[in-house]
Amino acid sequence: MIYLDNAASSWPKPPEVAEAMAECVNRFGANPGRGGHRLARQATEVVEETRQSLAGFFGIRDASHLFFVPSATYALNQAIQGTLRPGDHVVSSAWEHNAVARPLEALRQAGVIEVTWLPPHASLEGSRAWQEAILPSTRLLVATHASNVNGAIHPIEAIGQLARSRGIPLLVDVAQTAGILPIDVEAMGITMLAFPGHKGLMGPQGIGGLYVNPDHRLHPLIHGGTGNRSEELNPLQERPWSFEPGTLNTPGIAGLQAGIRFVEETGVENIHRREREWMDRLIEGLRGISGIRLFCADGESLPLLSFSVDGIDAQEVAVILDQHYDIAVRSGYHCAAMAHRSLKTENEGGTVRVSPGFFNTENDVDSLVKAVTEVVHAFQP
């Protein structure tokens, strides 16, 4: 199988990831923070070492303000619902994943908040459109770092400067960029950062994180046991424990630590350079095929693109690639309905998305181009 769906989840993983997870399960699979025996202490050490590694990776000064959560979706829901109150206004973009769009829309439909969705092109062109959309009641700016449909990158530093100047928190979804592009929360003016572990950070599924600036007040979504001050009934107001109730995914955290170590040793720039090489080769090959439309961002962008084939549903193309060519790609709307409406692909079943990763090869890319060429020719009269 040629795997070209890394925007959904990176694969294969570095071997160290599975090894770290197995070691955790087999040697010290105890509950971190719950008990003073050596196995519990060892599990706690893995959690805190990974927290420190992530803090350094994202330019976070105080690691206690970084929380482990099951996914970037959970992190975004926590950030949004833990920040907003009745009457608040939010500015966001039409590029957002449903992990942002649906929580905001649910609050809007309930009459709790108002939302301004910036048009795709406007939101990418500096901070002007963001500034013009701000109201006296604006309490949050939300932006994906990069689109998961065409790879377009938001000018986060410019938006962050605006947010700081206006005293408005900025929440950034880095699901597609963590481990692929450099990210520094202080330099970029990011108040809250939501990330998954299973994409560019090379970790396993089921683990992610949320960073929250020390000065930003956030209400926890859920409460429960934390291993700290268990004699008290009042919910804890201490970070990170008040945002990590229940048993943490220690094997997932151990695997994430191994993934981060691989990314750091390999180098974010080296990873991006290789993936960009595959993307440039892919664009060149697909552009030579008549009957397809390419959706890829101009200028600097992520190593992912979407395409559609005239007269063929996107799902059908993906099924043919899977069943006849052993090539894995993603088809559909990629949980980003507003982006597809702006690209006018909603009547074509969305698009076929291709996202090469660090472990792909030239042959993988060339095989996809050859397969798409054959598919298009087979359907043409």
Residue at token pair 């693109």 = 305
Highest mean pLDDT among 259-263, 296-300, 341-345: 259-263
Asked which of 6-10, 191-195, 274-278, 297-301 is least confident by mean pLDDT, the reply is 297-301
- The ranges assigned to domains in the chain are 2-10+268-379, 15-266
Please check whether residue 24 is in contact with residue 40, taking contact to mean a CB–CB distance below 8 angstroms.
no
Range 15-266 classified under CATH 3.30.70.270:
no
Range 2-10+268-379 classified under CATH 1.10.760.10:
no
Which residues, 6 or more positions from 378, have their beta carbon under 8 angstroms from its beta carbon?
none
Please check whether residue 251 is in contact with residue 18, taking contact to mean a CB–CB distance below 8 angstroms.
no
Whether cis (ω within 30° of 0) applies to the bond prior to 12 is yes
Please check whether residue 310 is in contact with residue 291, taking contact to mean a CB–CB distance below 8 angstroms.
yes
192-196 vs 208-212, strand pairing mode: antiparallel
> If we measure between CA atoms, which residue out of 73, 13, 49, 69 comes closest to residue 254?
49
Give yes or no for residue 34 having a pLDDT over 80: no
> If we measure between CA atoms, which residue out of 296, 260, 88 comes closest to residue 183?
260
> If we measure between CA atoms, which residue out of 53, 67, 60 comes closest to residue 257?
53
Note whether 2-10+268-379 and 15-266 share their fold: no
> If we measure between CA atoms, which residue out of 179, 184, 331 comes closest to residue 256?
179
Q: How many whole angstroms separate alpha carbon 176 and alpha carbon 163?
A: 22
pLDDT band at 341 (very low <50, low <70, confident <90, very high): confident
Q: How many whole angstroms separate alpha carbon 106 and alpha carbon 30?
A: 38
Which residues, 6 or more positions from 154, have their beta carbon under 8 angstroms from its beta carbon?
93, 95, 123, 124, 143, 144, 145, 146
Q: What is the helix, strand, coil percentage profile of the chain, to 5?
A: 45, 15, 40
Q: pTM value?
A: 0.95
- Note the pLDDT of residue 35: 73
52-86: pLDDT as tens digits: 999 999 999 999 999 999 999 999 999 999 999 99
Query: Within a 10 A sphere around the Cβ of 363, how many other Cβ atoms?
Result: 9
DSSP 62: -
**Token reading at 206:** 């089921």
Give yes or no for residue 336 having a pLDDT over 90: no
**Token reading at 80:** 């949004």
Q: What is the mean pLDDT of residues 365-371?
A: 98
312-329: pLDDT as tens digits: 999 999 999 999 999 999
The strand ranges marked E within 131-276 are: 138-144, 170-173, 192-196, 208-212
Please check whether residue 316 is in contact with residue 378, taking contact to mean a CB–CB distance below 8 angstroms.
no
